Homo-oligomer: A and B are copies of this chain.
Amino acid sequence: MKADIVIRGCIILTVTGAEDVIRRGLIALKDGKIIYVGRDAEAPTFEADRVIDGEGKIAMPGLINCHTHAAMTLLRGIAEDKELDTWLRETIWPLEAKLKPRDIYYGTLLGCIEMIKSGTTCFSDMYFHENMVAKAVIKTGLRCVLSPGIIEAGRKMLGRILLRSAVNIIKEYGKIEDGRISVMLGPHAVYTCSPQLLKRIGEESLKFDVGIHMHLAETESGTATARKLYGKSEVELLGELGLLSPRLLAAHCVHLSDTDINLMAKHDVKVSYNPISNMKLASGIPRIKDLLDAGITVGLGTDGPASNNSLDMFETMKAAALLQKVKYGDPRIMPAKKIVKMATIEGARALGLDGLIGSLEVGKRADLILLDAKKPHLTPLHDPYAALVYSARGSDVSTVIVDGRIIMEEREIKTVNELEIISESERISLDLLRR
């Protein structure tokens, strides 16, 4: 049988069901898809252009980052340990107003190489100039869901312009690169978009059959503002406006009532849980266990690198588990295997991409990573799931494959010049402070 790439001898976590650890496995890829995954001993003979020795490696689906603003790498470390409101108003928003499209291209490139080097193969990005994000994604070879940001903040005209520009992004990037890029609409939040604008966004999302990706119930003050302005919670308001649907990806969801959770479950709303950002900005601890118990799909996200300050999904997996355990006072909840699912197949489901990616199965697109397990901190390897969540680091990822293409091998990025991106984005970031 012909294949483009064959990986032999690795431990495989397929993330498909109960019996999903294969100790001596083989994976074969062809035309960007997985054509075999299973025991090496039972595999057919493959004639492959490229055979990768997987001895001592763990193969798993690439990690899916459900919520970030990748270009904010440029703002990393500029204002630290501040209150969210102060941080946004005094530092982030004034600097963002100075960002040019080329800055966003480089900031995103920087985010992309950081993500590749820590095992992320797909990210869901919300920002301005998402055409520049698309350009960086095409260049680096990652998979991405673009969410062009829509914000009004009292300026109705701004909201209209941004919605129009978002619709143009759907038209231009909605169906390119063989599905490697897709688009959602990205209203910022209830407290920065009027009900009228949100309603129109809901209508456009139906018309173009795309999802909506927004911040929801992130802070106590935002939640209180909604209650004051509309006499209801953010979730209830979205319900009235027709935005609660299986295509809504709600980021954060820290401040929810039982009624909110029931409403979200009823409409099959998807959630991105971003534990590091929620802790760093002191937003609070979301009730993820309750969301899961209600049957809601929850993926994981890093949030932007200026409020994290990292895009490392391995770190996020560990924090995601630990924060829920300590919140509920129960070390048994959110076990390692569940967390790996949230970072892969459930993240894919949250983005509407679970038919395409999120697990290692024949027929799915070949988005996968290899980790080097011959490391002191991964020894002994009794439980591969626990090792991935509690012990592994992004830096253990040796090889990254997206859509059947090797974009990093033995930690060397194959698609772009890493050092050039580091120095150019550093230059831009310093220049930004002087503008």
- Which residues of A approach B to under 8 Å, CB–CB? 73-74, 76-78, 80-84, 87, 110, 113-114, 117-118, 276, 278-285, 308-312, 315, 318-319, 321-323, 325-326, 328-336, 374-377, 379-383, 385-387, 390-391, 393-395, 418-419, 421-422, 425-426, 429-430
Contacts and interface: CB of A to CB of B under 8 A. Distances in A.
A285 B280 CA distance: 15
Contacts of A393: 312, 393-395
9 contacts: A77-B382, A81-B335, A276-B322, A279-B326, A285-B326, A309-B386, A310-B391, A312-B377, A393-B394
Contact of A380 (B77, B80, B279, B336): B77
Given A81-B332, A282-B328, A310 B376 contact: no
A333 to B, nearest CB: 8
A74 B385 CA distance: 17
A282 B394 CA distance: 25
B76 A280 contact: no
Contact of A322 (B83, B280, B381, B387): B280
A341 to B, nearest CB: 14
A284 B329 contact: yes
B280 A390 contact: yes
Copies of this chain assembled into the complex? 2
Pairs of residues from A and B, 8 with the lowest C-beta to C-beta distance, nearest first: A279-B322, A395-B395, A380-B429, A81-B335, A114-B376, A309-B390, A77-B382, A77-B383
B422 A84 contact: no
Contacts of A325: 279-282
A56 to B, nearest CB: 10
A421 B319 CA distance: 29
Contacts of A113: 376
A421 B376 CA distance: 8
Contacts of A319: 319, 322
Of A281, A283, A326, A334, which is in contact with the most chain B CB atoms at under 10 Å from its CB?
A326
Contact of A386 (B77, B84, B282, B323): B77
A76 B315 contact: no
B430 A380 contact: yes
Given A114-B376, A279-B322, A332 B395 contact: no
Given A83-B330, A117-B377, A279-B323, 12 more contacts: A77-B381, A77-B386, A77-B390, A80-B335, A81-B335, A117-B376, A281-B325, A284-B326, A309-B387, A310-B390, A376-B421, A393-B395
Contacts of A284: 326, 329
Contacts of A82: 331-332
Contacts of A78: 382-383
Given A77-B383, A310-B377, A395-B395, A330 B282 contact: yes
Nearest to A111: B376
A68 to B, nearest CB: 13
Contacts of A308: 390
A331 B219 CA distance: 12
Contacts of A334: 81
A282 B77 contact: no
A376 B282 contact: no
Contact of A391 (B77, B81, B281, B323): B77
B422 A376 contact: yes
A83 B332 contact: yes
A414 B312 CA distance: 29
Contact of A418 (B326, B328, B376): B376
A387 B73 CA distance: 12
B278 A326 contact: yes
Contact of A382 (B76, B87, B322): B76
B380 A331 contact: no
A8 B376 CA distance: 30
A383 B382 CA distance: 39
A118 B82 CA distance: 28
A331 B282 contact: yes
